[in-house]
Amino acid sequence: MDVCDTLISARWCVPVDHADTVLEHHSIAISDGRIIDVLPSDAARTRYRSDRDCDLPTHVLLPGLVNTHTHAAMTLFRGIADDLPLEAWLRDVIWPLESRSVGPEMVRDGTRLAIAEMILAGCTTYSDQYFFPEISAECAADMHMRAVIGTPVIDFATPWANDASECLRKGADLVHDRYADHALVSSCFAPHSTISVSNDSLSELRVMADQLDAPIQMHLHESTAELETSIQQCGNQPIQHLDDLGLLNSSLLAVHAVHLNDVEIDQLAEAGVCVSHCPTSNLKLADGIAPVTRLQQAGVTVGLGSDSAASNNRLDIMAEMRLATLLARVDANDATAMPAAAAVRMATLDGAAALGLQSSIGSLEVGKRADIIAVDLSPPRSQPVYDAVSQLVHAAGASQVSDVWIDGRQQVTKGELTGIDLNDILRRAHEWPERLQQ
Ligand SMILES: [Zn+2]
C-alpha cells in the first residue's frame, strides 16, 4: 500500500475543473501539504494507508474559498457606523477612528479576529490591505493562514509611515523581503485609490513594484463620487489615469470595478487586469452593481471579496457567492447568468488567479497545495440534495463549514478551530468598543 498523511473521504467532491465535474464517493490523499491523489473512495481504501482518516458521509469537499479583498484589522470597526455613503463613511467615521486607534495592537487584535472568522467560514486565503502590514503578515503566518499582505501606499502621514516613499520602503523591507520564501504569506502593494495618491507617488510605486516583481491592488471605479473627483483632479477617469502612468497591466488587481463603460471593460481585458468583486460592500455603501457578466465575457478574471467588516459586515465568501450570482442575473436581466458552478469558480479558482496563486491553489488537483474545505449538507436547509453545487451556492451557509485544511494542516475539525486560541482572540476583541468610544 502507498502511504499518505491524510485521507479525506466525502459523499461529494467539487474539484472545480473545466467540466464543472461533481464527483461522488471520492477521496483526497494528502502528503506534505500537497494533494497527491483524487480517486474513488473504494479504491482509496485499498491503495492508501494514512496517518489520519477523515470520513465525511454527508459533506461536499471543495477548494478553500479565496477572499480577494479585505482590510482584516477593521473587523474591530464592525457595526460602528452602518448607514452612510462611502465618502462620508470614510471622512467622518473611519479616518478619525483610525487616526486615534491604529497601531500594532489594534492591527494584531483585529487581524486575528478576522482570520478566525474567515477560517471558520471556509476561507483559506485572503488578500489584505492595511497599516502595519508586517503585523498582519505575522498574524497570518502564526495562525497558518494563506495570505497576500498588501502594503498601504498613501501620501499623508499615518501612525505607520510619514509619506508614500516611506510606505514603499517599509513594505519592501518588512513584508516583501521578509516573506519572499514563505509557504503561506506573500506580499503586494496597495495604494488606496488614484484620488488619494499623487502622480509622483504612483510613479515611484511603479518603479518599486517592477523591481520587486510585486503585484498591486487598488480600489478602482468604486463610486460615482470617486470618478467625479478623478475628473476634477486629473482630468480623466482612474482607469485611464493608471494607463497613462503605465500601471494598467496584469500585475494590477482592480478592487470593486463597479462603474465601467464598455471601453473601460475592454481596457481592463486587454491589459490583463483582474477584478475583485465585493458585492455586499457595493450594496451596503450604495455604490452600485458591478458588471460582472460583461467583464467575464470580455475575458476579465473576476474573484470575490468581502471588503472590510466595517462595510459588509461579514467576512463570508459563501454569502458573497450567493449574492454575486443573484446580482449578476439582475444586472444581465437573465436568469441563466452566472450558474452555481460559475459562482463556485469565482470563489475559488478565479479568486486564486486574481491573486496570482492559481498554480498552487484554487482547485482540487493532484500537485496543488491542500487547501480544502468540507461543507455539511445534512441540515434541513440543505435537504434534499439533487445538485450539490446548487446547495452550496443557494442554500448552504458558512455555519455548515465543518472541516478546513490549509496547506494540508487541519485548522477546523467538526466546526471548531484547532490550534488557535479563540477565547483569547474574543477576549481581546471584547475590549475594543470601550477603547474606541473613549
Ligand atoms: Zn476596500
Instruction: Kindly give the distance from the C-alpha atom of residue 213 to the centroid of ligand 1, in angstroms, as a whole number.
Output: 23
Q: Can you tell me the distance from the alpha carbon of 58 to that of 378, in angstroms, rounded to the nearest whole number?
A: 6
Find out whether 101 and 435 touch, Cβ atoms under 8 Å: yes
Q: Can you tell me the distance from the alpha carbon of 218 to that of 420, in angstroms, rounded to the nearest whole number?
A: 31
Q: Which residues contact 268 (CB under 8 A, 6 or more apart)?
A: 239, 248, 254, 257, 260, 275, 295, 298, 300
Instruction: Kindly give the distance from the C-alpha atom of residue 392 to the centroid of ligand 1, in angstroms, as a whole number.
Output: 26
pLDDT on residue 83: 85
Q: Looking at residue 300, what DSSP letter applies?
A: -
Residue type, 9: S
pLDDT on residue 350: 98
Instruction: Kindly give the distance from the C-alpha atom of residue 25 to the centroid of ligand 1, in angstroms, as a whole number.
Output: 40
Instruction: Kindly give the distance from the C-alpha atom of residue 281 to the centroid of ligand 1, in angstroms, as a whole number.
Output: 9
pLDDT on residue 436: 84
At 430, phi and psi to the nearest 5? -60, -25
Q: What does the CA dihedral 195, 197, 198, 201 come to, rounded to 10 degrees?
A: -150
Instruction: Kindly give the distance from the C-alpha atom of residue 219 to the centroid of ligand 1, in angstroms, as a whole number.
Output: 6
pTM more than 0.95: yes
Q: Can you tell me the distance from the alpha carbon of 241 to that of 254, in angstroms, rounded to the nearest whole number?
A: 13
For each of the chain's 438 residues, which pLDDT tens digit applies? 899 999 999 999 999 999 999 999 999 999 999 999 999 999 999 999 999 999 999 999 999 999 999 999 999 999 988 888 878 888 888 888 888 899 999 999 999 999 999 999 999 999 999 999 999 999 999 999 999 999 999 998 999 999 999 999 999 999 999 999 999 999 999 999 999 999 999 999 999 999 999 999 999 999 999 999 999 998 999 999 999 999 999 999 999 999 999 999 999 999 999 999 999 999 999 999 999 999 999 999 999 999 999 989 999 999 999 999 999 999 999 999 999 999 999 999 999 999 999 999 999 999 999 999 999 999 999 999 999 999 999 999 999 999 999 999 999 999 999 999 999 999 999 999 998 876
Instruction: Kindly give the distance from the C-alpha atom of residue 69 to the centroid of ligand 1, in angstroms, as a whole number.
Output: 6
Q: Which residues contact 190 (CB under 8 A, 6 or more apart)?
A: 129, 150, 151, 152, 153, 216, 217, 218
Instruction: Kindly give the distance from the C-alpha atom of residue 358 to the centroid of ligand 1, in angstroms, as a whole number.
Output: 22
Instruction: Kindly give the distance from the C-alpha atom of residue 325 to the centroid of ligand 1, in angstroms, as a whole number.
Output: 21
pLDDT on residue 90: 83
Q: What does the CA dihedral 352, 221, 88, 93 come to, rounded to 10 degrees?
A: 20
Q: Ramachandran region of residue 7, left (φ > 0), alpha (ψ -120 to 50) or beta? A: beta
